[in-house]
Amino acid sequence: MPLTSAPDLSDPGRFRALWQRCLLDGASDDSAAIHRRLLDGYREPQRYYHTPHHIEHCLAWFDQCRSLVDDPDALELAIWFHDVVYEPGKPDNEARSAALYQNFADGAHANETRALVDRLIMATLHLGSDLDDGDASYMVDIDLSSFGLPWEDFLRDSENLRREAAHLDDAEFQHKAMSFYQSLRERERFFYTEFFATRLEARAHRNIERYLARIED
């Protein structure tokens, strides 16, 4: 199922409306400044994959499935924040991204929303251990939906991930990539939700098989 048009991350309107919908009564609205901080993060020079394009891609898929999730505002907040802190090779990027959201949301969003956004961001570690609610499954599938892109787009994303991993030599990168891709291939099903499995499952497996054969040569 092809996506229609992806949102423009530089347009503050969507994020500000989302943030304002979640505001507690009497809380100050800092959504304009928060949106600028998000844009600054995703435009950092060390990024080639974890850029505004990735978030726009995720939001476009979210728009297709938002009616199926339990808390669409929390899930959308998690999408906006999940990669805002990104230092190549660091193991705590997701935790620091979640902490940045918590810092902004303290006193502004309900504790239940804050706790859910935190869980959803941390689910993008892709350890398979944080999927204790349906929205986390959607979060993981949205984050991995690029595996179901046409081959040329999937390969472009893979090459951009390699550019972000400039701190690794080719052997180290290939070992890390093969380990992760093999773990995805060995799942009972690549995508956790029926929505994504019916649309992207077959192509994701073909892309992984083709990519693994490419780097094993």
pLDDT at 216: 77
Q: What is the per-residue pLDDT across 57-85, written as a single tens digit (0 to 9) for each? A: 999 999 999 999 999 999 999 999 999 99
Closest CA to 69 of 142, 124, 127: 142
How does DSSP classify residue 65? H
Residue 206 and residue 181 in contact, taking contact as beta carbons nearer than 8 Å: no
In the prediction, which pLDDT does 3 show? Answer: 61
Strand partners, 109: 23
Task: Tell me the backbone φ, ψ of residue 109, rounded to 5 degrees.
Answer: -120, 155
pLDDT > 50? residue 161? yes
Give the predicted TM-score (pTM) of the model: 0.95
